[in-house]
């Protein structure tokens, strides 16, 4: 097994610590502390570890409570809320020495033969990841951002987890959860009237934190292949920006929907 601070598969290999309790580790990120996507992904992995494989990840809803500390392991405590014939529900509390840092509910469903209809549209006039600069702040995934200056309040980009995830659908869902915490902040910041321009992007005037996060997993996906995330901010109020978006395969299949509220405050110098 690889290093959990640099290898995604190793990061998702949680250690059991008693009944329905797991411990995970992660790196120090460029801004310090932990990355919300890591905590959500590990919480989902912990929840799935208490669910039979016949149940696929259906959705998750998470609240970020406190900032995580990269120097400590994270303890994930799972509550088996309900075991139904079609659906299974779990809640997960992520804890560190300071107390709870995340609370998440996750739902799992047995696959059903039913109508499959898609109305979400793959965005038009988007550049392919092969034609864009690849940049990422993490060794865990690749990132290729699509410029979207007009209208404001939007962010679009390609994401792909690094490494071979095999054929474990839970691991692919966890990888999507990990990456999905990235572009919502960009969408909210791009709507702010004080957003940095293209010539002063290094003068970032905000501190931003994810407040809550939701994902609906619609169709099977392979997170170690490129997927397009298209986010839009629906408004700013009381320092909060609400974003919503879709995740598509390169062929235009709508595999997931993401919603997040982001806290944006002016940076205090000194």
Judge contact between 192 and 117, C-beta under 8 A: no
| Residue 111 DSSP one-character state | -
Give the pLDDT score at 201: 54
Q: Report pTM.
A: 0.93
Positions of the chain with pLDDT lower than 50, given as ranges: 270
Give the pLDDT score at 204: 66
Burial class (CB in 10 A: 0-12, 13-18, 19+), 130: exposed
Give the pLDDT score at 259: 97
For domain 126-270, give its CATH number from 2.40.50.140, 3.40.50.2300, 3.10.129.10, 1.10.40.50.
Answer: 3.10.129.10
Q: In 3-state terms, what secondary structure has residue 8?
A: helix
Q: Where in the chain is the domain with CATH 3.10.129.10?
A: 1-110, 126-270
Architecture of the domain made up of 1-110: Roll (3.10)
Q: Give, in degrees to the nearest 5, the angle at Cα 238 between 234 and 239.
A: 75
Give the pLDDT score at 1: 58
Phi-psi bin for 228: left (phi > 0), alpha (psi -120 to 50), beta?
A: beta
Among positive and negative, which fits the CA dihedral 216, 169, 123, 179?
positive
Give the pLDDT score at 225: 96
| Non-local CB neighbours of 86 within 8 Å, separated by 6+ positions | 109, 110, 112
């Amino acid at each position: 097994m690889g290093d959990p601070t640099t290898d995604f598969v190793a990061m998702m290999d949680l250690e059991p610590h008693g009944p329905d309790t797991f411990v995970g580790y992660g790196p120090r990120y460029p801004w310090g502390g932990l990355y919300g996507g890591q905590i959500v992904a590990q919480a989902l992995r912990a929840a799935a570890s208490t669910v039979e494989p016949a149940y696929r990840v259906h959705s998750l809803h998470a609240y970020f409570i406190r900032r995580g500390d990269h120097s400590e392991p994270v303890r994930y405590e799972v509550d088996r809320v309900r075991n139904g014939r079609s659906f299974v529900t779990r809640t997960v509390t992520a804890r560190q020495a300071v107390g709870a840092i995340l609370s998440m509910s996750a739902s799992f469903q047995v696959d059903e033969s039913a109508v499959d209809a898609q109305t979400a549209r793959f965005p038009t006039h988007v550049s392919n990841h092969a034609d864009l600069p690849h940049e990422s702040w993490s060794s865990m995934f690749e990132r290729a951002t699509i410029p979207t200056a007009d209208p404001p309040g939007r962010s679009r980009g390609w994401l792909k987890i690094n490494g071979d995830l095999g054929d474990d659908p839970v691991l692919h869902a966890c990888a999507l959860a990990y990456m999905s915490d990235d572009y919502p902040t960009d969408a909210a910041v791009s709507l702010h009237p004080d957003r940095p321009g293209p010539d002063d992007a290094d003068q970032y005037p905000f501190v931003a934190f994810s407040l809550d996060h939701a994902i609906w997993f619609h169709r099977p996906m392979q997170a170690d292949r490129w997927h397009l995330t298209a986010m839009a901010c629906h408004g700013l109020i009381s320092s909060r920006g609400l974003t919503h978006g879709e995740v598509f395969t390169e062929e235009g299949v709508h595999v997931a929907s993401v919603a997040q509220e982001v806290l944006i405050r002016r940076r205090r110098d000194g």
